């Protein structure tokens, strides 16, 4: 799908979404770190119809993987975030929509039977943050995902502003920000701190999930503040060079947290065995960033559905090979660090 996306997209768009910060060491590590863990099948388990469904925050999902927030999805397909939302809802997959979506949350989700989570970039103006949260909640968002790993934008070779200045994409809007911010305003807040997280908790009636955690102390701080969940992430290696990989961070954080606390992860997940490894290491669900862009580019809603279907088929087969009946019921003895 990646190869197919490369064929259909302008090189500028492909380079933008595949891009990383600096030399891409964090992104490379995100994918390669999965190889450190090996899976140990249990035999004779008689798994005829494995169950891939999980329940999170009261919502039943048919598969434990879905779409990470990716901004500006109309760069990949004219249906943009609408297509991703619909594809995930049809597949019973979790979905997170970005603050910097081209299509506003309400419009992108109007037909969706499962409401996506809303990813929030807090600006340096709390009134704008409040308005973003309010609009998303009014449109049915029950989970707000606060991204905390972009106090400033990472050093990237291919940035979105360059693309938006080309005639081909000059018409694209930031739907959620319409009427709140000017197209070119800064949407990041370098002063973001724990107090602002507490302020967000006060103004929001949604569940709050914090995205971009890598340090166990930060995970514990979220727990202590009654945050409902965290997404362990380094922004797909787009923010900082030489970061801890997401999967290694998950393995470090999990033992320090109560077992029932929802940990999610994204970064470098490219196959069903990656999904399985993350779940066996303690993630409740996992999210895909760039692969969703591949699906979208190749076939809009059908492309994203197909991408999810491919991984689901592989996951089901791998569960049978592993002797796992229920994906929500992990046996940590089935994964081992081998190098
Ligand atoms: C093109 C692109 C745009 C992204 N936009 C956002 C965004 O608006 N908000 C956010 O929290 N993360 C954003 N991310 C990061 C993803 O949510 C996710 O953390 C990352 O892509 C996961 O890594 P993967 O691409 O290896 O799966 C973006 C990633 C990409 C590739």
pLDDT in tens, 72-105: 999 999 999 999 999 999 999 999 999 999 999 9
Q: What percentage of the chain carries pLDDT values higher than 90?
A: 91
In 3D, which of 123, 84, 125, 91 has the Cα closest to residue 105? 84
Q: Quick: pLDDT tens for 240-265.
A: 999 999 999 999 999 999 999 999 99
Cα separation, 223 vs 239, whole angstroms = 24
The DSSP call for residue 259 is: T
Q: Quick: pLDDT tens for 101-122.
A: 999 999 999 999 999 999 999 8
Output the pLDDT for position 52.
98
Ligand 1 atom nearest 231 alpha carbon:
19
Cα separation, 277 vs 103, whole angstroms = 34
Ligand 1 atom nearest 267 alpha carbon:
23
Hey, what's the torsion of the CAs at 47, 281, 53, 93, to 10 degrees? -140
**Residue 217 contacts residue 199 (beta carbons within 8 Å):** no
**Mean pLDDT taken over the chain:** 96
Ligand 1 atom nearest 19 alpha carbon:
31
Output the pLDDT for position 181.
85
Q: Quick: pLDDT tens for 204-229.
A: 999 999 999 999 999 999 999 999 99
Give me ligand 1 centre to Cα 68, in Å.
Answer: 6
Nearest CA to ligand 1 atom 1: 17
Nearest CA to ligand 1 atom 19: 235
Give me ligand 1 centre to Cα 184, in Å.
Answer: 20
Output the pLDDT for position 186.
75
Question: Domain 2-325, what fold?
Answer: TIM Barrel (3.20.20)
State mean pLDDT over 284-295. 98
Output the pLDDT for position 243.
97
In three-state form (DSSP H/G/I as H, E/B as E, the rest C), the secondary structure along 47-106 is: CCCCECCEEECCEEECCCEEECCCCCHHHCCCCHHHHHHHHHHHHCCCEEECCCCCCCHH
**Which residues are 337's β-sheet partners?**
37
With cut-offs at 50, 70 and 90, classify the pLDDT of residue 194: very high
Give the pocket of ligand 1 (CB within 6 Å): 17, 30, 68-71, 98, 100, 119, 147, 211, 233, 235-236, 238, 266-269, 288-290
Helix axes of 246-253 and 216-224: crossing angle, nearest 10 degrees: 60
Residue 159: is its pLDDT beyond 80?
A: no
């Amino acid at each position: 799908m990646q190869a197919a996306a490369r064929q259909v997209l302008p090189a500028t768009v492909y380079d933008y979404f595949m891009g990383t910060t600096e030399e891409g060491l964090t992104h490379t590590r995100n994918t390669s770190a999965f190889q450190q863990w090996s899976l140990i099948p249990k035999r004779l388990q008689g798994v005829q119809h494995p169950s891939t469904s999980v329940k999170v925050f009261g919502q039943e999902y048919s598969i434990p993987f879905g779409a990470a927030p990716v901004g500006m999805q109309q760069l990949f397909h004219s249906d943009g975030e609408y297509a991703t939302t619909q594809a995930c809802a049809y597949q019973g997959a979790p979905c997170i929509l970005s603050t910097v979506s081209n299509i506003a949350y309400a419009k992108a989700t109007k037909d969706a039977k499962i409401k996506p989570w809303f990813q929030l970039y807090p600006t340096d103006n709390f009134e704008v943050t409040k308005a973003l949260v309010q609009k998303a909640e009014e449109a049915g968002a029950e989970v707000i995902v606060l991204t905390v790993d972009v106090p400033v934008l990472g050093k990237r070779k291919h940035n979105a502003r360059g693309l938006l200045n080309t005639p081909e994409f000059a018409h694209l809007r930031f739907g959620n920000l319409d009427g709140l911010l000017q197209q070119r305003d800064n949407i990041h807040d370098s002063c973001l701190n724990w107090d602002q997280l507490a302020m967000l908790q006060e103004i929001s009636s949604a569940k709050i999930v914090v995205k971009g955690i890598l340090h166990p102390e930060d995970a514990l701080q979220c727990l202590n503040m009654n945050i409902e969940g965290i997404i362990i992430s380094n922004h797909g290696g787009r923010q900082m060079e030489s970061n801890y990989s997401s999967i290694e961070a998950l393995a470090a954080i999990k033992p320090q947290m109560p077992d029932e606390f929802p940990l999610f992860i994204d970064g470098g997940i490219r196959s069903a065995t990656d999904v399985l490894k993350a779940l066996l290491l303690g993630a409740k669900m996992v999210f895909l960033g760039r692969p969703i862009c591949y699906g979208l580019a190749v076939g809009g809603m059908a492309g994203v559905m197909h991408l999810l279907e491919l991984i689901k088929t592989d996951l089901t087969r791998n569960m049978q090979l592993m002797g796992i009946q229920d994906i929500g019921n992990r046996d940590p003895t089935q994964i081992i660090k081998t190098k």
